[in-house]
């Protein structure tokens, strides 16, 4: 039976049913299918991941709205699991941000996060980030909120102010974004559990996202620790992507050095496991039925 809830409503239900809601990065439709099948209730598409995986570019704001939409459509066509999408700075001014939100909704996204870096953005865990004024960030949030065509579409305001200006300034920005209509706050590059607790207190216990990305400024806190310190969402943006990359590199090197892949076969997903995730046999059975019907005519 088809899911009658909108994507935004499915995201809100997953958030309501989870403490906290774990959101895993799925770099493509197949990863989304695997994450869904093992039981994840929400998935994520990273802007940096789109740049890296789909275009071979660094995460420096070099990809466009249409570049990201292409991957969004592929993922939402494959699974009903609600998808949170990184829309960077919204790709322009108020009209561009409005178009972004409308296009994301049409493409099947459930939620987005928009940030307060300048257009020439950097990865959130790199030095020398530049952020826009509080007023400009509030305008971005208002433009996104006003553009909603589905009241349940979930809008998260991301602030990079913590690393630049400290906790108090970051909380002030978060409060202003919530007043402008944001549904939640993405506090980037936070260092300690106490900082998350202070963030949560500062925003009155509203929805707070913790970004638990490897090799960054934030330690790999457990979901229970984060929930106890005010986080209602925990994001793992590129964990599977990094693991897949390292595995692929290992295979490439062994094939080149050994002349075959025998040494790494045990590290590979089997053909039958691939088929299981893709529901391959259901398609094959349907083909067999169609061929049988054709022969009987």
Check if 88 is active-site: yes
CA atoms within 13 A on the CB side of 229: 19
46 assigned binding-site residue: yes
Say which of 12, 31, 40, 88 is annotated catalytic.
88
Whether residue 151 lies in the annotated active site: no
Spatial distance between the Cα atoms of 162 and 166, rounded to a whole number of angstroms: 4
Is 213 among the annotated ligand-binding positions? yes
279 is an active site residue: no
48 annotated ligand-binding residue: yes
Which among 28, 31, 71, 123 is annotated as catalytic?
123
Which residue in 115, 116, 183, 195 is the catalytic one?
A: 115
Is 177 annotated for ligand binding? no
Cα distances (angstroms) measured from residue 33 to each of 86, 188, 279: 19, 27, 10
Q: Is 146 annotated as a binding residue?
A: no
115 included as an active-site residue: yes
282 annotated ligand-binding residue = no
Residue 173 designated active-site: no
Concerning whether 135 is annotated as a catalytic residue, the answer is no
Nearest to 176, CA basis, from 147, 133, 230, 211: 133
Annotated active-site residue in 12, 31, 113, 173:
113
Catalytic residue flag (residue 44): yes
Q: Which residue has the tokens 């994840």?
A: 40
166 among the known binding-site residues? no
3-state secondary structure of 33: helix
Which ranges constitute the DSSP H helices of 87-192? 94-106, 134-146, 161-165, 167-179
Among residues 31, 125, 158, 207, the one annotated as catalytic is 158
Point out the catalytic residue in the list 103, 116, 160, 188.
188
Residue 209 · residue 42 · CB < 8 Å? no
**Which among 86, 116, 160, 195 is annotated as catalytic?**
86
Asked if residue 212 belongs to a known ligand binding site, the reply is yes
- What is the DSSP-derived secondary structure letter of residue 265? G
Catalytic residue (one of 10, 12, 31, 59) = 59
Catalytic residue among 140, 211, 229, 236: 211
Q: Do the annotations mark residue 260 as ligand-binding?
A: no
| Beta strands per DSSP E along the chain | 21-25, 43-45, 83-86, 111-115, 154-159, 184-187, 207-211, 233-236
Does the annotation count 128 as an active-site position? no
* C-alpha 251 chain-centroid distance: 27
**47 assigned ligand-binding residue:** yes
Ligand-binding annotation for 185, yes or no, is: no
Q: Binding site residues for substrate, as ranges?
A: 46-48, 123-124, 158, 188, 211-213, 242, 271
Q: Binding site residues, as ranges?
A: 46-48, 86, 88, 123-124, 158, 188, 211-213, 242, 271
Catalytic residue numbers?
A: 44, 59, 86, 88, 113, 115, 123, 158, 188, 211
Q: Binding site residues for Mg(2+), as ranges?
A: 86, 88
């Amino acid at each position: 039976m088809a899911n009658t809830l909108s994507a935004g409503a499915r995201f809100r239900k997953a958030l309501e049913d989870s403490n906290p809601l774990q959101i895993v990065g799925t770099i493509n439709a197949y990863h989304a299918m695997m994450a869904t099948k093992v039981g994840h209730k929400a998935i994520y598409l990273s802007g940096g991941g789109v740049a890296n995986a789909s275009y071979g570019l660094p995460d420096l704001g070099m990809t466009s709205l249409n570049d990201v939409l292409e991957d969004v459509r592929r993922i939402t066509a494959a699974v009903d699991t609600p998808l949170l999408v990184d829309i960077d700075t919204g790709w322009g001014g108020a009209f561009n941000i409005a178009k972004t939100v409308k296009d994301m909704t049409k493409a099947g996204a459930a939620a987005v996060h928009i940030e307060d870096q300048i257009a020439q953005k950097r990865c959130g865990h790199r030095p020398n980030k530049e952020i826009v004024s509080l007023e400009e960030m509030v305008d971005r949030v208002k433009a996104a909120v006003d553009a909603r065509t589905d009241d349940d579409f979930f809008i998260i305001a991301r602030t990079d102010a913590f690393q630049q200006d400290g906790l108090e300034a970051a909380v002030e920005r978060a409060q202003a974004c919530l007043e402008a209509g944001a549904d939640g706050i993405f506090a980037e590059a936070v260092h300690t559990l106490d900082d998350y607790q202070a963030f949560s207190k500062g925003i009155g216990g509203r929805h707070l996202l913790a970004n638990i990305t490897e090799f960054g400024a934030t330690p790999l806190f457990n979901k229970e620790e984060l929930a106890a310190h005010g986080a209602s969402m925990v994001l793992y943006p590129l964990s599977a992507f990094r693991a897949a990359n390292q595995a692929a590199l290992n295979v490439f090197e062994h094939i080149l050095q050994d002349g075959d892949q025998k040494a790494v076969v045990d590290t590979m997903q089997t053909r039958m496991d691939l088929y299981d995730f893709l529901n391959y046999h259901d398609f094959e059975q349907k083909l067999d039925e169609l061929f049988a019907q054709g022969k009987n005519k």
